[in-house]
Structure 1
Amino acid sequence: MSRDHSRRHVLRTAASALATGGLASASLAGTGAATEGAPADDDAEGPPVAVHGAEAVASGRDDRYRTVTGREVRFALARMTTMVVRPGGARVSECRWTVDGTVSLSGPAVTRTWKTAGTREVELTVEYSDGSSARRTLQVEVVEDNEAPLAVPDVSPGRWFDDGVIVTAGEVVTYDATGSEDDDGTVVDATWNFDGYAAEGLVVEHEFRRTGPKTVTLTVTDDDGATDETELFVYVERPVR
């Protein structure tokens, strides 16, 4: 096995890459682990990194992640990488990060926050005590932060009062969520819970057969997956004879 192949093999099999964040989480453990006889391409076979605050959307020779504007993203060497001693005794001696081709940072872990949307590039160069080096390039898709929608229920027929709405037992009532709002998108779905009975749709019908106080829960979802939930107090009265 050549010296270059040996170094890549030790690094790639001893380290792992993780991607975790508020949008979602995914494990990239063992991403692209090298095997003996792999092509000598340090640009693609460099050590993996850890990304926190971003969602992994692809993995392989070109790792890609997604995050939102205003969120701090942490880039770091996988923990075991800094402890690896490759054949010959070489250790990691320096880590350099280049962000968007202009911003230079150094150290095993760095953070970055983007204020505007767009596709960003982060390049990591790792140097070893024997003078050799390896690189890995990541792409980060930055999207505008999504504001959650506002769930607004309507009921018909019904008599509204300060704390809720009055409906009649045995009467089919329409529950409508089309008045819900989303400042930066569109409300695309709604789910309802009528004291344990579930229904889905922006407009649904339900009939309470028993009188008394009830709780109706409405959850709406926007076109970016954000949700909002509200509870509606419903009092079911006896029908007028």
Structure 2
Amino acid sequence: MVQKQTKPQNVIIKGTKDGLTFVLNDQCAFEDLLGELSDKLSERPQPQEMDQNPLVRIKLVSGKRYLEQEQIDQLQSQLSEQIHAVIDSIETDVVTKVEAEKMRLDNQVTRLAKVIRSGQVIEVRGDLLLIGDVNPGGTVKASGNIYVLGALRGIAHAGTLDNKEAIICASKMAPSQLRIADVIRRPPERESEESQDMECAFVNHEGEMVLDRLQKISQVRPTITDELLG
């Protein structure tokens, strides 16, 4: 006996504690998806008075389908009219060109070999690897991590785009100010001369910036590459 193949569903609706999740087939035509969605929504119990019922929050899972704004508006219109719902979030496997460029910039490493003198400001997207000193009055900024293979005696601001996972490392750590995202630390108090060990600054689980030896970073930031750790 030949078994009849089951037609794949274009829309799968799942209930969650936060609302409803709609898993959309990413292989079918968008018009077919809209048609099945309308059929399934019409089968759901309709509230007597929509205006008196809270909005149902919807999460769309679109897989490898890229939803244009016009298509999102069509889905939203259908959801609003049939079940008084609003699209709260969209989960997709598709990366747009804008998102891809942002990822590239955030993961790049800018390498400089120079001395940052008083009054100079160097700002980069991604990580900064500086071979040289940051003199008092000089400033280095990066949206990612900052590595100074030299003396850091000026200002260093890592994670400028609110990235508290960023770190600041220097061969000689004697800054006038350290900043990671919005967490600021003043010059460290030292009982003796500058440490001979390379040090790193990072934000701990309590939201405080701490200084520690370079070897500690592999424990608190295990994603830092072995190459950069030396």
On whether the aligned pair clears a TM of 0.5, the verdict is no
Structure with a larger share of its residues in helix: 2
**Which has the bigger relative contact order, CA under 8 A and spacing at least 6?**
1
Structure with a larger share of its residues in strand: 1
TM-score, with length taken from structure 2: 0.29
TM-score, with length taken from structure 1: 0.28
